[in-house]
Amino acid sequence: MHQEKNQRRRFLKNITALGAMTMLEAGSANALPLAGNKEGSGFTFLFQGDSITDGNRTRNSDWNHVMGHGYQYIIASKLWYDFPAKGYHFFNRGISGNKVTDLAARWQKDTLELKPDVLSILIGINDVSAFINGDKKFSAEQFELGYRALLIETKQALPGIRLVLCEPFILPVGRVKEKWQEYSDEIEQRGQIVKRLSVEYNTVLVDFQNAFNKALTKAPAEYWIWDGIHPMPAGHELMAIEWMRQVDKKWKIIR
The CATH number of the domain where 53 resides is what?
A: 3.40.50.1110
10-19, 23-32, 113-122: the lowest-pLDDT one: 23-32
Q: Is the pLDDT of residue 25 over 50?
A: no
83 belongs to a structural domain:
yes
12 belongs to a structural domain:
yes
Q: CA-CA distance, 51 to 57, in Å (whole number)?
A: 10
pLDDT tens-place string over residues 175-233: 999 999 999 999 999 999 999 999 999 999 999 999 999 999 999 999 999 999 999 99
11, 92: one domain: no
24, 79: one domain: no
Number of domains forming the structure of the chain = 2
Q: CA-CA distance, 85 to 95, in Å (whole number)?
A: 30
The per-residue pLDDT for 10 is 53
Question: Which residues are bridge partners to 163 per DSSP?
Answer: 119
pLDDT band at 91 (very low <50, low <70, confident <90, very high): very high
CA distances to 99, 186, 228 from 131, rounded to whole Å, are: 11, 9, 17
21, 142: one domain: no
Local structure of residue 67 (DSSP, 8 states): T
Phi/psi for 64 (5° steps) reads -75, -20
114, 208: one domain: yes
205 belongs to a structural domain:
yes
pLDDT tens-place string over residues 73-88: 999 999 999 999 999 9
Q: Is 207 an annotated catalytic residue? A: no
Which member of 54, 127, 129, 230 is catalytic?
A: 230
181, 199: one domain: yes
27, 96: one domain: no
Stretch 54-82: mean pLDDT: 96
Q: Is 102 an annotated catalytic residue? A: no
26, 117: one domain: no
Stretch 84-99: mean pLDDT: 98
49, 17: one domain: no
64 belongs to a structural domain:
yes
The per-residue pLDDT for 61 is 87
Q: Is the pLDDT of residue 9 over 70?
A: no
Residue range(s) defining the domain that contains residue 133:
40-250
5, 44: one domain: no
The per-residue pLDDT for 113 is 98
Q: Which residue has the higher pLDDT, 19 or 153?
A: 153
pLDDT band at 89 (very low <50, low <70, confident <90, very high): very high
210, 97: one domain: yes
What's the first-to-final CA gap in the chain, in angstroms? Answer: 56
Which member of 50, 51, 127, 129 is catalytic?
A: 51
255 belongs to a structural domain:
no
50, 5: one domain: no
95 belongs to a structural domain:
yes
Q: Is 184 an annotated catalytic residue? A: no
pLDDT tens-place string over residues 110-164: 999 999 999 999 999 999 999 999 999 999 999 999 999 999 999 999 999 999 9
127, 155: one domain: yes
Q: Is the pLDDT of residue 252 over 50?
A: yes
